[in-house]
Amino acid sequence: MNFIVFDLETTCWDGNPPTDIREIIEIGAFRVDRFGEVKDQFQSFIRPTHYPRLSPYCKNLTNIEQSKIDTAKKFPLVMQRFIDFIDTTNDFLLCAWGKMDQIILEAECEEHEIHFEGLEHYIDLKKQYHTINRSKRAYGLFNSLRREGIEFEGEQHRAEYDAYNLTKLFVRYIDQWIY
């Protein structure tokens, strides 16, 4: 069994967005085996279709430069590379912090007419983490890491770093996740 611990960054705006569509602008992921060993990693920027210019708010939040988006491939090409990275010839489970990454990835696949059954194989690590720890309140990833004594490395709101830090938490509880 391979666990694909991943995170997405999407287009975003401060205040009233021009659309309800949130397009993925970055995917970060780590493939972890059942023993908690990281086997591979994946990172890619994606050029949005509807709003290829990042808002000032989004650039500030993510620290993603417009030039990275301008030179990035579109979603269908990146998604195919991501599927190849997942290695669907082996059993796998997608793992992310919350349900939103699954919802957004499903929406992007639907928008681009990409059929990927792997989206059904998903666990919400945020929900399970708080159940495991009997938390009365749901904390974000950064605060959950802090509560565990794990230092966040890299930049917050960057998919590659969020996925890396989530992987550290995932490995700590490798035998407790329910799937």
Domain boundaries, the chain: 2-172
Q: What is the pLDDT of residue 98?
A: 97
Q: What is the pLDDT of residue 15?
A: 85
**pLDDT per 10-residue tile (average), the chain, 179 residues:** 97 86 96 97 97 96 98 98 95 97 96 93 96 93 97 97 98 94
Distance of CA 46 to the CA centre of its chain: 13
Contacts (Cβ under 8 Å, ≥6 apart) of 124: 96, 97, 98, 99, 102
The answer as to CATH 3.30.420.10 being correct for domain 2-172 is yes
Tell me the C-alpha distance between 140 and 153, whole Å. 15
Contacts (Cβ under 8 Å, ≥6 apart) of 133: none
Q: What is the pLDDT of residue 28?
A: 98
